[in-house]
Structure 1
């Protein structure tokens, strides 16, 4: 006798995770209006859990609600991006300093293994982007978590993390420095392994500062290209 399979309804937290990945990947594009009926049909959910999930996305900055428009996916401009990177440069530098003092030897070893995994990934996937690593596979995420500072973790891994993931994924076609990024990550790892908190902070700030300058150059170049096309 065959059993009837009942589809388990998505909980709002699971739905939030699904929507986050859809936005970060570009499946739901930046600046697009959030249509509750369309999303409810797509994911087979009722409006209640969907609204809870959308509120969660508003809380982490991926969705904004505008007068006469409603909810839509955020679309970062140049100044917003630079502001986020300025915050990130300061806070991740601080997190790296604290991680140098708080990490166990096991944490250090696991972080080195992660970098070896990243190197293998780059060698086996020529042309792929290093920026696509996320969560526990993200070097920065692991260091922030290792800082053991709940406030830094909340700010960098909850409030800003997915905005940065979204932009990094979108920008990966224009910004590519995977080997240099990996080398910089290895230098940061060595400072952490040496328990050199001062150097770890300096190297992390310098690493993110370089990324910020690349973003600024990219945005300016795109604006210049667009202005030429309008003439």
Structure 2
């Protein structure tokens, strides 16, 4: 892994998990000293974070971590609802039997975790998003993968860490994931897409309630 990649992943995880707070100014001199690398690789890492919409370049300020924008997050969930439905339709056609078996094993791991930690969120492991990520990869469409996994994935993770204290719904999510998986296993893309859209619509409604309760 290059110095740029190391810096990128270090800063990305710190931003997502809130170790570097929204609105924080990212001073190159401080980061260069903290990470022990030159300005060149650091600037490249910051440019990459900017392209992922995790950092903004503010005139007369420089690089700054994005703030939580409620309207933007709702729009992201609206996109996910539609695009991940499409991903399900494609995945039902294109996922191999081995891919489906791997997805089933992932669900088993999630189920065991939920049963062991009844009523707790499993955000810290990003397991819910891993399930979605596997389906998107299984769709075999590079544009969908780029948009959902590269452009939106980390913003959704960031929101989840920031709202980790809200009431979790892991049992319900587990049930919905299982239904989606069963539809995919039956190669029923239309049903899988409908279930995925409904699943994300529920998450969007929870987001709207969370925003209303925090304003």
Smaller-chain TM-score bracket: over 0.9
Give the Cα–Cα distance (whole angstroms) in 1 for the partners of residues 172 and 93 of structure 2: 26
Question: What root-mean-square deviation, in Å, do the aligned CA atoms of Structure 1 and Structure 2 show?
Answer: 1.7
User: Which residue is 1:3 aligned to?
Assistant: none
SS in 2 for 1:122: helix
Q: Which of 9, 22, 31 pairs up with 2:14? A: 22
Name the count of aligned residue pairs. 215
User: Which residue is 1:72 aligned to?
Assistant: 64
**Mean CA deviation greater in 192-201 or 134-143:** 134-143
Structure 2 stretches lacking a partner, 5+ long: none
Counterparts in 2 of 1:149 and 1:74: CA distance versus 1, 3 Å:
same
User: Which residue is 2:176 aligned to?
Assistant: 184
Query: Deviations 1:78-121 (Å, cap 9, x if unpaired)?
Result: 11111111111111111111001111111111111101101112
SS in 2 for 1:26: coil
Would the aligned equivalents of 2:110 and 2:127 in 1 still touch at CA under 8 Å? Answer: no
Query: Deviations 1:110-158 (Å, cap 9, x if unpaired)?
Result: 1111011011122334454223334897100000000000000000011
Would the aligned equivalents of 1:175 and 1:214 in 2 still touch at CA under 8 Å? Answer: no
SS in 1 for 2:63: strand
Counterparts in 2 of 1:10 and 1:126: CA distance versus 1, 3 Å:
farther
Q: Which of 201, 204, 209 pairs up with 2:196? A: 204
Q: Which of 34, 53, 67 pairs up with 1:61? A: 53
Structure 1 stretches of at least 4 aligned residues deviating more than 6 Å after TM superposition: none
SS in 1 for 2:79: helix
User: Which residue is 1:86 aligned to?
Assistant: 78
Give the Cα–Cα distance (whole angstroms) in 2 for the partners of residues 102 and 175 of structure 1: 36
Structure 1 residues 1-231: aligned runs within 5 Å: 11-126=3-118, 128-134=120-126, 138-223=130-215
1:61, CA displacement in angstroms?
A: 0.5
1:40, CA displacement in angstroms?
A: 1.2
Counterparts in 2 of 1:137 and 1:221: CA distance versus 1, 3 Å:
closer
Select the structure of larger CA radius of gyration.
Answer: 1
Give the Cα–Cα distance (whole angstroms) in 2 for the partners of residues 21 and 32 of structure 1: 14
Give the Cα–Cα distance (whole angstroms) in 2 for the partners of residues 138 and 53 of structure 1: 24
